[in-house]
Amino acid sequence: MRVLVTGGAGFVGTNLIKRLLKDGHEVASIDNYSTGYKENEQEGCKYVNYNLEDLNQPTLFDKELFGVLDGVDTIFHMAALARIQPSIVDPTTAINNNFNSTLYLPSPGKITGIESSSSMLPLMV
Ligand SMILES: NC(=O)c1ccc[n+]([C@@H]2O[C@H](COP(=O)([O-])OP(=O)(O)OC[C@H]3O[C@@H](n4cnc5c(N)ncnc54)[C@H](O)[C@@H]3O)[C@@H](O)[C@H]2O)c1
């Protein structure tokens, strides 16, 4: 399958990508490296540096981004500001990042599924 992992340079995303590559899937990641690391990048996965909050601004789209979004079968949505304490101190930043990023991901109607992680679960039901 053709799989997109958002937050692929983070802790959960990295381990997920390792497993998906091992299972023979074609894998790409979108990450803005706000809390993720270049050192986490796995050979065989295509990484695009992009802030998912900008998905609602077509002028910020680029060819590379279209390339990884095109023809995706499944999205594992792991991109988030995941720490709980900062989201209590500054909920606006957490809501803008986590909510908007999820809102503008491609429509589930075009793909077989979106798997999300705990910071986004309230938005996916
Ligand atoms: N780490 C755990 O033990 C654990 C356990 C249960 C659930 N989760 C959930 O898994 C998800 C990921 O957690 P994690 O521990 O891997 O966090 P992490 O901070 O290591 O990874 C999150 C990744 O998302 C990226 N990101 C954040 N906002 C982005 C944006 N707007 N656009 C593009 N990329 C963006 C970051 O740069 C980072 O690489 C969270 O939803 C978290 O709640 C984590």
CATH number of the domain residue 97 falls in: 3.40.50.720
Count how many Cα atoms sit within 13 Å of the Cα of residue 104 in the half-sphere of its side chain: 15
Helix (H, G, I), strand (E, B) or coil at 75: strand
**How many whole angstroms from 108 Cα to the centroid of ligand 1?**
21
Residues in the chain where the model's pLDDT stays below 50? 108-109, 125
- Which domain range does residue 81 map to? 2-124
Instruction: Give the mean pLDDT of the chain.
Output: 84
Would you state the pLDDT for residue 114? Answer: 60
Asked whether 97 lines ligand 1 (CB < 6 A), one says: yes
Q: How many domains does the chain have?
A: 1
Residues 59-81: pLDDT tens digits?
A: 655 677 777 777 888 899 999 99
Report pTM. 0.89
- Residue 40 Cβ contacting ligand 1 at under 6 Å: no
Q: Using the mean position of ligand 1's atoms as its centre, give its distance from the Cα of residue 89 in Å.
A: 18
Ligand 1 centre distance from Cα of residue 115 (Å): 13
